[in-house]
Amino acid sequence: MNGGDRMELERAKQAIASADAILIGAGAGMSVPAGIDLMDTKSFAKNYPAMLQYGFTFGYQLMGYPYHDDRLKWGYLSASLHNMFQLGKDDTYQKLFKLVKDKEYFVVTTNIDRLFHKNDFSEERVYTPQGDTSLFQCKLPCSDEVWDAKVLVEEMVKHIDPETQFLTREDLIPRCPNCGGEVYMNVRSGGFFIDDPYLQGQVNLNNWLKDNGHKKLVFLEIGVGYNTPGVIRFPFERMYAQLQHADFIRINMDDSNVPLGGIGLQMDIETALNIFLTN
């Protein structure tokens, strides 16, 4: 670490320590230490070996993939959802919570894994505009209804052929309880997305900004790249430009460039959090 990096780290540490309020923006990078890395070929091969025969080597290749057989689609999706549902307390999330728990904080995250909820962050202080994988919805959609996915997923994973990744019981393929149509996770992956469950989160964020925008505020952006920059990265930069008394910290191994006056930390998240938490 060179002298400039140390100075930026110290600036960031002091900004967080003296902040009255912290607005956290968390992207996919935040969940990588917890075990969710859609670019990881090693864990993909270990968890879904049958998928290799179809030419898939990492999870990101299957984001929005147009499956030709629902048995393969739900054989893979149920297995990957099951693995995500098993995740709970995570050291990196716990360190972040320890850092902000005694301050006014709010979280905006593109992550759909509920790891903030599982790691003690208040439900009322977490906004997940991209959705939630623990909920299902009609893909039409025929209504604004969403429902719990976990019971269905746990039944499906009992009936996956390990040689093909196919769901062996077609009667377990999820169907909309209202119209009998196709079902998908309640995540923002098309025009069918039902955002009703997240509207209160947006209201909570706006109210939080009204209450805390005039205070000594830190924008703490973690693991946010350019996949969906319009959700966190660009809005955070715009808000920072409007608040002269605010500080801006971006932790990102690949995209750590910051607006004028901001603090860019090109390092892994856990290292940065460890330094922030030292006396």
| 3: pLDDT strictly greater than 90 | no
Q: Are 154 and 164 in contact (CB under 8 A)?
A: no
Is 3.40.1000 the CATH number for 20-193+215-227+245-277? no
| 4: pLDDT strictly greater than 60 | no
What pTM did the predictor assign? 0.96
Nearest Cα neighbor of 251 from 88, 42, 30, 45 is: 30
Domain-wise residue ranges, the chain = 20-193+215-227+245-277
pLDDT value of residue 244 = 82
| 1: pLDDT strictly greater than 80 | no
Task: Give, as one character, the DSSP assignment of residue 37.
Answer: -
Residue partners of 201: CB distance under 8 A and separation at least 6: 126, 127, 128, 129
pLDDT value of residue 71 = 98
- Torsion angles phi and psi, residue 95, rounded to 5: -65, -40
248-265: per-residue pLDDT in tens?
999 999 999 999 999 999
221-253: per-residue pLDDT in tens?
999 999 999 999 999 999 999 998 899 999 999
Least confident window among 4-18, 72-86, 95-109, 190-204: 4-18
Give dist(CA 188, CA 125) in Å, integer. 20
**For all residues of the chain together, what is the average pLDDT?**
96
Nearest Cα neighbor of 130 from 176, 197, 67 is: 197
The gap from C-alpha 154 to its chain's centroid, in whole angstroms, comes to 22
Q: In what order do the strands lie in the sheet with 183-187?
A: 146-148, 131-138, 183-187
168-183: per-residue pLDDT in tens?
999 999 999 999 999 9
- The mean pLDDT of 266-271, rounded to a whole number, is 95
Q: Are 196 and 135 in contact (CB under 8 A)?
A: no
Q: Are 182 and 137 in contact (CB under 8 A)?
A: no
70-127: per-residue pLDDT in tens?
999 999 999 999 999 999 999 999 999 999 999 999 999 999 999 999 999 999 999 9
